[in-house]
Structure 1
Amino acid sequence: MMKEEIIKLDHITYKYEQEDVLEDINLTVREGDFLTIVGPNGSGKSTLLKLILGINRVQQGEIYLFGEKINRFKNWERIGYVSQKANSFNSGFPATVEEVVASGLTKKIGLFRFYKKKHREKVFQALKEVGMENFLHRTIGDLSGGQQQRVFIARALVSDPELLILDEPTVGVDVRNVSNFYDLLFELNRNLGLTLILVTHDTGTITEKATHIACLNKQLHFHGDSYEYEELNNQDMSAFYGHDVYTLKHDH
């Protein structure tokens, strides 16, 4: 049985002034996919996310979210988003972990509404899903970069999204914690059935966690499952990136 289309990009081209940033992108993400998007700086990855999230308007082509054209799509609570917060977060911000995660419910319950018992239970459950339930009353600024990112994922999860988009989430995360972070994403995808889109430069470790890989450099040079990606050679990768690339395999 064919799984539901969560995202469909149909011949997307996007320009900044007169320069093509994305050229004729066709891409489908289905329910339960874990898609990793890789590519060099300036390859159009961030622009692609902004188009999917409705931040930038489509110039040419069509984007469909859950089967609906993006200009008609209203159910944005179905999509969670985690940005590079660990790299730029103000460590002096006085909010607790509970308050940060609870802020993810604002769209559902209103800006100035009081949180009820059921909302506090959802916050605790979201933190439990990312292994941070014991940090409920800690100040967010006291946490490590990796712990902060887990909290931000909990904030995205608390509203029960069906799609979670992460933009370079390991920026600012200690290298020793990156593997644990990817293990978490793997568990969210496999155990919760959450559809994931991850933008990253870290091609060495994430390919064994993702179900699909997309290589983007203005054009979509490759889109396939992780097994097909592993078959790409250094010459293929160098063509994608525009310079010599040597792929390192990580055996665990």
Structure 2
Amino acid sequence: MKTEEVLKVEHVSFRYEKENVLEDVTFSVPKGAFVGLVGPNGSGKSTLLKCILGLLKPQQGNIYLFGTPISEFKEWHRVGFVSQKANSFNTGFPATVYEVVASGLTAKLGLFRFLTSKEKQAVMEAIDAVGMGEFRQQNIGELSGGQQQRVFIARAIVSKPELLILDEPTVGVDVHHVQNFYNMLDELNRLGITLLLVTHDIGTITEKVTHVACLNKHLYFHGKADEFAQLKDHDLSKFYGHHLHVLSHQH
């Protein structure tokens, strides 16, 4: 029985004016996977995410979400997105954790609708899922960068998306809390959410994700995490364009 593809990127190329950013990129994300997308700065990762989210249109190739071409896809509540928000969040923003997470239901419910008891319960469950239950009435501006990112993930999952896309979510997260952060993502994946994580943290990739995609304009590698772990340092250095040594984060 063939595994359902949540995301399929097929021969995608993109350029800004005369600069090629993506060249013939093809890969897929099966349902239930935890995919790490890695690559150096300027490798096209952010551009690829914008294409997947329908913000940019590739000059060549096709992208499918849940089997539907991106140009025809309407069910955006099935997709959650978390950007590098914690690094530049306005600490004076007057909203509690509960209010920020509840705002994630706006697209689904409309701007001026009151939450039902079932929807309030969904907000609480999302907050608890990221380990922020004790902070639900605290102003988000009073939280650390890592705590804020947890809240943004709760906001992204409150509408129960099937695919969660995260763009370098550990930017602004204290190094001592990064491992706990990845443990939380692992738990969300176990709950059935398919994850696509953009990161520079190659060491963590091999410990947490199920699949890895290495992008540097071209797709240099796409496969299971254990296959990626067997790559030699000189293979990765060739891909990154400079010497690279992968360090494990396990203690």
Query: What SS is found at the alignment partner of 2:131?
Result: coil
For 1:94 and 1:250, the matched residues in 2 are separated by 37
Q: How many Å apart are 1:49 and its aligned residue?
A: 0.3
1:206 maps onto 2:193 in alignment: no
4+ long deviations beyond 4 Å: none
Q: How many Å apart are 1:205 and its aligned residue?
A: 1.8
For 1:10 and 1:127, the matched residues in 2 are separated by 36
Who is 1:156 aligned against? Answer: 156
For the 8 Å contact 2:212–2:225, the answer to whether it is kept is yes
For the 8 Å contact 1:32–1:189, the answer to whether it is kept is yes
Amino acid in the other structure paired with 2:124:
F
Please list every run of 5 or more consecutive structure 2 residues that lacks an aligned counterpart in the other structure: none
| 1:36-58 CA-partner distances (Å, limit 9, x unpaired) | 01110000000000000001112
Who is 1:179 aligned against? Answer: 179
Q: How many Å apart are 1:118 and its aligned residue?
A: 1.9
1:232 maps onto 2:224 in alignment: no
Amino acid in the other structure paired with 1:60:
Q
Q: How many Å apart are 1:116 and its aligned residue?
A: 2.3
Amino acid in the other structure paired with 2:178:
V
For the 8 Å contact 1:182–1:206, the answer to whether it is kept is no
Q: How many Å apart are 1:67 and its aligned residue?
A: 0.4
For 1:99 and 1:227, the matched residues in 2 are separated by 40
Across the aligned residues of Structure 1 and Structure 2, the Cα RMSD in angstroms comes to: 0.9
Who is 1:62 aligned against? Answer: 62
- In the superposition, the TM-score normalised over structure 2's length comes to 0.98
For the 8 Å contact 1:38–1:215, the answer to whether it is kept is yes
Query: What SS is found at the alignment partner of 1:159?
Result: coil
For the 8 Å contact 1:164–1:194, the answer to whether it is kept is yes
Equivalence map 1:38-49=2 (5 Å): 38-49=38-49
For the 8 Å contact 1:78–1:161, the answer to whether it is kept is yes
For the 8 Å contact 2:205–2:212, the answer to whether it is kept is no
Identity fraction in percent: 64
- In the superposition, the TM-score normalised over structure 1's length comes to 0.98
Amino acid in the other structure paired with 2:246:
T
For 2:101 and 2:176, the matched residues in 1 are separated by 25
